Structure 1
Amino acid sequence: MLLIIPALEIKNGKCVQMVQGREGFVYSDDPIETAKLWRKENAKTLHVTDVDGAIEGRLVNFDVIERMVKAVDIPIELGGGLRTMKEVKKVFAGGVFRVVIGTMLVENPDEAKRILDTYGPSKVVLGIDVENGIFKMKGWRENSGLTAISVALNAKHLGFTRIIYRDILRHGTMSGPNFDGIKLMAEKSGMRVTASGGISGLEDLLKLQELEPLGVDSVVIGRALYENKFSCQALWRLCEAGDYPYTAKV
């Protein structure tokens, strides 16, 4: 059973879709209403990225996110610009359920460990943004010089248990996920994996479901949902029932 997680990317206070790490589309001037829409469509959680925050290295759109938390009755996980314990404390105090950190793990692993030890691995997860196998950071703009696998293994050593794996070159393209990369990450890390990037429709979800025995248990979807590539309510009913056609139940 894959958990389907709608993505909301916030830039300049608007709900956008980044494409391969660059500006793409504006879907809505009101992210709050967008979040409420996904809740009405039966979403169980939301994945929110502060795009400005990721680029600038600090929280930028938290006022929007804080209002979003109050507007919906489901958990929100937040990534983008979280580089210090102070910022993490702020977002948890504002009602965010889970934080996603990435750049911090490379630049300040001691701080990342302190945050993980304080809040636990169910509340703090690792965001792996990948381009050609390399971990990218600082809003997907800087090459870390480290492989994504090595970053994941280091995170596992620190105590992380979940990865959100996003392939930058697939992100926002609806060209299909990087199935090989997702599979390799799950196999090598031994961690739970949330897949992200490139989802185009139901067939991609069927293929991702085959990776569930390896620990791939959820998927973040953006553009394909916004552009109605499948019926949200019907899709979530299938997912929750574990009743995709043509696939064995896991």
Structure 2
Amino acid sequence: MKIFPAIDIKNKQCVRLLYGKKENITVYSDNPVEVAEMWEKTGAKYLHIVDLDGAFSGSFKNYDIIKEILEKVNIPIQVGGGIRNFETAETLLSLGVDRIILGTSAIENFSLLEKLTKQFGDRIAVSLDAQGTMLCSNAWETPTNKSIFDIISALENINVKTVIYTDISKDGALAGANIELTNKLNSVTDINIIASGGVSSSDDLKALSACNIYGAIIGKALYEGLINLEDCRRDVEC
């Protein structure tokens, strides 16, 4: 299972939100680039980066920080947050981002997702952000009537290769990952599933790995010292 340390960027800082609410914010660093370098030095093989300014505004903002991270680290990064048109996606991929993540635009503009997948293949991922099974959009603020299980077959049909499933009710709460639902989603699709939200211990990671989940994103638990990156890489990463 692949491990993705998370770097969420807001106001040029590395932060974590509780339940995705921008008013529930904890700042961990004033320099996201240094954080990226730290995780690489600690042994990270991948990074998961979200432009929260872009997610909340609907338009990607932090190109300068992404460029600098790409210049400073030598590991693949996946980037999401406010990627809602072809030009933004193309720009980020041309900068050297390994994979971009579409959330709201994948739900509300399926033709864009299909176009990007045809053009860029497995460099396009989809984030399914949900309260339990029900999807939310617009930086998690707008509930929809769509289930994660409703959309997964449609994603398969256009050859989406990677999906990030986030249980919003767990995110940032250190309450444990939603192992049961992540495993259920993984069992109904051949798409690579990356688990996100609530991962708080090595036991969570071992349980996800035992379910043959493709990857796990770890945020607050790393920054609070509840998970040691080197230890969890040794235990579960392949």
- What is the TM-score normalised by the length of structure 2? 0.95
**How many pairs align?**
236
Residue 11 (str. 1) matches residue 10 (str. 2): yes
Map 1:201-220 onto structure 2 (within 5 A).
201-212=201-212, 216-220=213-217
The answer on whether the counterparts of 2:205 and 2:236 sit within 8 Å (CA) in structure 1 is no
Secondary structure in structure 2 of the residue aligned to 1:136: strand
Which runs of 5 or more structure 2 residues have no equivalent in the other structure? none
Which runs of 5 or more structure 1 residues have no equivalent in the other structure? 243-250
Match of 2:70 in 1: 69
Residue 128 (str. 1) matches residue 128 (str. 2): yes
Match of 1:20 in 2: 19
Task: Give the superposed CA RMSD.
Answer: 1.2
Partners of 2:176 and 2:231 in 1: CA distance? 21
Deviations 1:141-174 (A, max 9, x none): 1112211111222111121122111110101111
Map 1:50-65 onto structure 2 (within 5 A).
50-65=51-66
Identity, % of aligned pairs?
Answer: 30
- How many Å apart are 1:238 and its aligned residue? 2.6
Match of 1:151 in 2: 151
Match of 2:82 in 1: 81
Match of 1:40 in 2: 41
Match of 1:247 in 2: none
The answer on whether the counterparts of 2:103 and 2:127 sit within 8 Å (CA) in structure 1 is yes
Partners of 2:159 and 2:231 in 1: CA distance? 36
Residue 224 (str. 1) matches residue 194 (str. 2): no
The answer on whether the counterparts of 2:172 and 2:220 sit within 8 Å (CA) in structure 1 is yes
- How many Å apart are 1:231 and its aligned residue? 2.3
Match of 2:190 in 1: 190
Deviations 1:175-210 (A, max 9, x none): 001112101211223321111110111111121122
The answer on whether the counterparts of 1:135 and 1:151 sit within 8 Å (CA) in structure 2 is no
Larger mean Cα displacement after TM superposition, 61-70 or 30-39: 61-70
Match of 2:171 in 1: 171
What letter corresponds to residue 200 of structure 2 in structure 1? S
- What is the TM-score normalised by the length of structure 1? 0.91
Partners of 1:182 and 1:238 in 2: CA distance? 20
Partners of 1:202 and 1:95 in 2: CA distance? 31
Secondary structure in structure 2 of the residue aligned to 1:189: coil
Partners of 1:160 and 1:231 in 2: CA distance? 31
- How many Å apart are 1:237 and its aligned residue? 2.3
